[in-house]
Amino acid sequence: MAPELAVRRPRDEAEYRAALALRHDVFCTEQGVSEGDEIDDRDAEALHVVAVRGGRVIGTCRMLVEGGLGKLGRMAVERGSRRGGIGARLLDEAEAAAGAAGARRVILAAQVEAEPFYASHGYYTVGGHFMDAGIEHVRMEKALR
């Protein structure tokens, strides 16, 4: 039986660093995104969410909240753990954190292949496709309750 999955804010600096390392693995190593495009100066102000199983961070995302708007980004789940509901759990927790911080709406730039995932969680597409870090994306948004 697999260890239980915990989805929450990072408990300490080690979990936060593990989330950054996972993002590097997924975006830079796996997808070929440059470190310059992956790393920015907004992590310090973001609300981070991690998925932890067996003491290991296997998923992460961040939410920037400004005014009544949340901006979801940097959603990453390790390759061997995808398609198991972890992304949905991360999304739920990030939306709850954004709502608690005053956001009434969430926007994101989804990789086009992830558009159906976000649509299934209530996001709708706004505008056409665009390139970001060499990957085709689409803007999406959702009103929070």
HEC per residue, 10-55? CCCHHHHHHHHHHHHHHHHHHCCCCHHHHCCCCHHHCEEEEEEECC
Residue 122 lies in a domain: no
Residue 133 lies in a domain: no
Residue 36 lies in a domain: yes
Residue 115 lies in a domain: no
Residue 126 lies in a domain: no
Residue 114 lies in a domain: no
- Residue 115 has a pLDDT of 94
Number of domains in the chain: 1
The owner of tokens 């292949």 is 113
Is residue 2 pLDDT above 70, yes or no?
no
- Span 106-129, average pLDDT: 93
Q: Do the beta carbons of residue 51 and residue 80 sit within 8 Å?
A: no
Mean pLDDT in the chain? 91
End-to-end CA distance of the chain: 36
Query: Nearest-CA neighbor of 63 among 33, 26, 95, 39?
Result: 95
Q: Read off the pTM.
A: 0.91
Residue 100 lies in a domain: yes
Give me the CATH number covering residue 26: 3.40.630.30
Domain carrying residue 23: 5-106
The tens digit of pLDDT for each residue in 28-77 reads 898 888 887 888 889 999 999 999 999 999 999 999 999 899 999 999 99
Residue 121 lies in a domain: no
